[in-house]
Structures are given as structure tokens and as C-alpha cells.
A and B are shown apart, each in its own frame.
Chain A
Amino acid sequence: MSTGMFESWTGDVLQIGPLYPFVGSEMILVIVGVVCWIGWHIWQWRMESHNYHDDLATLKVNDNMTKALRGEKVLRSM
């Protein structure tokens, strides 16, 4: 049992080829990678929007806007 293409370093080194496990899965890995990348942007975009939304809500409470502009503490539970 081996996840790689070789089980020994002996023999013709030039014939070993790829060293990583699960050779043949490269296209699937690329698809997974691209999906992760695009998914990250979507996730980040939503997260950033939520952050701004929460911050704006915090600033509307009492005199938080004035306090924040003065550099005073503005509390918000995360």
C-alpha cells in the first residue's frame, strides 16, 4: 500500500517522476483550489459587509459617534 508512485529510492531516479501522493488527482485539486479561492472572496465580502453594518449600528447608539471621533472608548460585544 502506498499513496505515492514509488516505494523505494533504488533504481533509476529519473523514472520516479512525481513525489507527491495521489498522482492523477491534479485536476481535481485545481478545481478544489479554485473553488476555495472564489469561496474565500465571497465569504470575505459578506464578512466585511457585516463588520461595517455592525460598526454603523454601534455608532448610532447614544453618543458613540462623538466618542469615537474623539478617540474615546466605544464598546461593542463581538
Chain B
Amino acid sequence: MSDQLAALTTIFTEFYYWVTVVFMFLIHIGFCMYEVGASRRKNHMHTLMKNTMVIPLVTVTFFFFGWWIYFALPNGPGITGPLLDAPWAEPWNELMGAHMGGSIEGGMDAESTAYWARINGVFWAAFLLFSWTAASIISGAVIERIRSGSFWLAAVLVGSCTWIIDAAWGWHPNGWMVQVLGYHDAYASGVIHAIAGGAALALLIHLGPRIGKFRADGTPRNIAPQNPWLITIGLFLIYTGFWGFYVACNIPIFDVQEGDGVFFSATNIYLAPTTLSAITFNFLMSLSGGLLATYIVSRGDAFWTYSGGLCGVIGASAGNDLYHPIQAMLIGGIVPIICYKLHFWVERKFKIDDAVGAVAVHGYGGFLGVVIAGFMLWGYPASPFYDVTINPLGNFIGAIIMFFVLGFVPCYILGAILKGAGVLRIPQEIELVGLDLSEYAARYADEEALQQAEIEAARAAGLLR
């Protein structure tokens, strides 16, 4: 930090990530509004609290072990190398707290320590907000019948374990999937959305549909959202937070010139050059493609049009550092149409009750986004550091790892254990009358008592005969 350029670069980066974290907070607010709007009135408060408590639970566990996983597991371990040392990410390390820099135990020199002392907290928080998002995606799918305690175990599993393992493998400059497969997923189609969608699908299989969702002949009923306004505002907030998400996936200032000379640029998460302009073009064009396409395919349905806009961005995200804006628009339009059709086909065929379409929008959308990027960016360098190119097979295998291996399988096992123990789903009577029974019953009891006390006070004051 003694050199002015180094100090400016570090402190700019520190501020940059801090801003992205504030923006990304809006994603969680949006998800909460969206879920509450999609739930029926009898379940509002429970639905809100189920998603709200993701914040503290994933935060503390991401502090305890999630952050370390990202830096320790890029090699597998055992696929391209051993478990790596990451002293700055160990929860007991001095750098996981307020620090000025200076050499520490473990061999980090004073300048490295000064850098991590400033970047560690904001970079941790940026990844943490991704973790909330992954867990929150699942939360929407399972509303109105999952037991909160069971959901929160799944939230910690995905938010602080499995998604960050996939990030270490496929969203790290030295991740083995990047080195071996040429995996490219710049804005997390697979590493956030596909894994969360796969995890949600696994839980939904064990959880079963809400009571009354399917008729006796197996055809689905539409459980209409209680508050469409809350849903649409929630999705607008998710869009807004998604800007922060995109920006947080970049390194803002980095010397990308190999060999002699210096050339500073923003990079993607793989430290390959891109620009904020590129991702701004493509974010908006893929959002537009999704909105335009799903407005038509859903016949103007607001819920699906908004969700389709989100799905459009997710579908193009894997390659949105490199696509042309019109390519982003077209991909952003095609992916949500497929996901929309798949959602209803899966619902009818397999009786999967995904209350908010999360598996379709995030799971199928993310999976397709990764696969499409493999074709669209075929032959592009996957990394500035390894002689490997982006290719369809590598990204297809990567999409399977994200959706099935790290998304579906761990949550399927957890769901089976919880279901076997009889604690995955709430009691049938509670589901019928609504999860907010305690809330309302207690409030009614107090209201009655308060009303009685007021009558007695009025009588004592001679206001009542």
C-alpha cells in the first residue's frame, strides 16, 4: 500500500465490491417480496421468515467454511492437484477481521496482507450475496408446505457448501473444470442458477405438491399468486440487484497484458479481459429478449413475462462477457421459451409443484445457458493461464456437474433423509389451515383480551352504562 498505483487499485477494488454488495441486497428483498406475493394469505408471514432467515444462517456458515472452500478446492482436490492453502479465508485467521496489514503467521508478506486486509471482507460479502441467492432460489419453489428447519438445512448445504464447491471448480481462474474441460460460465448460468434449480427439483420430488394442486385425474390447478403487484415489484428488484451481481462477477482493474507492458482492464472471474460496457449491453439485451419472447409465449401473463426476463439474462449469462448484444437478445429470447414449455410439461408429466417456476427459470435456464455458451464460444480461450479452449462437450459436462452432480444429488440425499425421518413436510392439518395459524391465533387472543380491557376501562371511567 506504499505505492500510489497499488493503493488506488486496491482501494478502488475494495469500494467497487462494497457497492456491488449493497446492490445485491436488493436481490434478497426482491425474492422475499416475490415469494410472499406468490404465497396465499394464510402463509405470508411464514413464507417471509423462511427466506429472511437464509440471511443469517448462510452468512455465518459462509464465514465458518464457505469462503475457505472457494480457495482450497479449485483442484478438486485430487483432480489437478492437492488441497490448497488459503490462510486469509480460514475463519480463525487474523485477516477474517479488521486488519491493517503486515506479515502474519503462515508466510504471507506484508504487501499481500495489506491487500487481503482490504479486499477480504468485501470479496467475501460479494460471494456471500451469491450464496444467499442460491439458497433463496430454492426457497421460492418449496413454499407453503416445507418445514422451515428442514429448508434451512438445505439452504446451508447449497448456500455454504455445494455452490461454493462448484465455484471453486468452475468459477475460479485455476478451477479444475476450467483447466481440464475449458468450462466457461462468466456470469454464473451454471454455478448459481443451474445448481440451485437442480437442488430445488430434488427437494420438490421428495416434498410433493401442495394439497389440491392436482385434480384426481392428475391435471394441475393454478394456485394463483395472492399479490401480483408484490411479485412484479419483487422481480423488478431482482433485476436491479442482478446488475450488482453482474458487476460483482468482474475484477474491476487488472493488468491483462502478458509479457512486457501494462494494460489495465476489467476482467471476468477467470481474469480474462472484458469490459463493463460489454456486460451492460448484454445484460439489457438478454433481459429484453426474455421479456419480449415470454410476453408472447405466455400470452401477456405478467408473472411469466417478468420471470422470462430473468430467465433471458440467466440463459445468456454464461457467455455475456463475449456475446454480441443481438446474440444475447436472441439467446435471451429462445431460452425462456424452452423453459416455459418445460415447466408445464414437467408439471403435468411428473406432478412437480414448483410454486414460482424456479426450477425452470434458474435450473433449466442456467443449464441451457452453459450448453449454448459451449457452442457459441467454441474455440475461444477459456483461460489466460492454461492452454485450453471453450468447447461444447466441456460446457455440457460442466452443466451436468452443476445441475445434477452438485445441485440435484446432494439435495436429493438430504431430502430423502429428512423425508425418512418424517420432518420434511409440515403436518397436513397445518398446511390446510395455513402456516400462520400461530401468528393469527395469538394475535386474535390478544385482540380479544385488549378489547375486553378497553371495555372495562371505559366502564370504569363511566363511559359505558
State the A residues within 8 Å of B (CB): 13-20, 23, 26-27, 29-30, 33-34, 36-37, 40-41, 44-45, 48, 51-52, 54-56, 58-59, 65, 68-69, 71, 73-78
Contacts and interface: CB of A to CB of B under 8 A. Distances in A.
B437 A55 contact: yes
Interface residues of B, number: 42
A77 B441 CA distance: 8
B300 interface: no
A48 B149 CA distance: 8
Interface of B: 1-2, 42, 57, 60-61, 63-64, 91-94, 96-102, 104, 110, 114, 147-149, 152-153, 426-427, 429-430, 432-434, 437-438, 440-442, 444-445, 448
A15 B1 CA distance: 12
B86 to A, nearest CB: 15
12 contacts: A14-B110, A14-B114, A17-B100, A17-B101, A18-B94, A27-B92, A37-B57, A54-B438, A56-B430, A58-B437, A59-B437, A69-B433
A78 B433 contact: no
SS of A interface (majority): helix
SS of B interface (majority): helix
Contact of A78 (B57, B96, B445): B445
B152 A44 contact: yes
B444 A41 contact: no
A17 B445 contact: no
Nearest to B445: A75
Contact of B442 (A15, A23, A26, A78): A78
**Most chain B CB inside 10 Å of its own CB: which residue of A14, A33, A45, A65:** A14
Contact of B437 (A26, A33, A68): A68
A14 B426 contact: no
